[in-house]
Amino acid sequence: MISFLRGTVAHVGLSTAVIDLNGAGMSVFATPQTLSHLKVGTEAKLFTSMIVREDSLTLFGFADDDEREVFDVLLSVSGVGPRLALAVLAVHEPEAIRVAAHTGDGKAFTKVPGIGPKVAGRIVLELAGKLVPHGTGTTTAPENAIKAEWKPQVVAAMTSLGWSEKDATVSIDKAMADSPELVDAGNVAQILRATLRWLGQDGARAGNRVGSRG
């Protein structure tokens, strides 16, 4: 595993840079933001993540360890490869990605070229609990205020996965009737995951999902 590269910048392209390590040139894919800070002939340090395939070894470079961490977590989402994960980082700062994942904001991910509502919904679902904004506190708010914040976001995430707004709302209310602690916490990702789990256990998935076309 190559954790970082430190050397002289030999080349900067549209999507890659070449770092000269004592005469050996290492090609690294990076976001436009990271590449914009690299200057040919100057020394640079990039944190890296290596993707190993049967026919290739590819390095992806990042300005700091936080970017690399978010990149690696994005790769855990089914259907998200390194190029798409890098595209997410090209559009959003790491902290913005953490906030979107934590709050279930699927629309933030649809701003990335190549990500539609279904993929965005899957990203939010699979990142639940994996990315938490830095400095997240434990302050509480009145129940009505918490509900006003989380419910529209959970409904939006479910509609992006194929449910109608009406069915999503009913399902959320029924699922949360058994989970008051989740309502009090107001964590969008956890509520979404609990509602989808309730739908599967309840056997209502086939009847409620829009994709069934009943």
- What are the CA-CA distances from residue 14 to residues 26, 38, 92, 100, 144 (Å)? 16, 12, 18, 27, 48
User: Would you state the structure tokens that stand for residue 23, as one six-digit string?
Assistant: 């005469």
Q: CA-based angle 174:175:178, to the nearest 5?
A: 95
| Ranges of the chain with pLDDT below 50 | 137-148, 203-214
Q: Is 29 exposed, middle or buried (0-12, 13-18, 19+ CB in 10 A)?
A: buried
Question: Nearest to residue 49, comparing CAs of 19, 22, 70, 77?
Answer: 70
pLDDT value for 144: 43
pLDDT value for 139: 39
pLDDT value for 201: 58
Within 25-81, where are the H helices? 32-36, 65-74
pLDDT value for 136: 54
User: Would you state the structure tokens that stand for residue 25, as one six-digit string?
Assistant: 């040139």
Q: Are 53 and 14 in contact (CB under 8 A)?
A: no
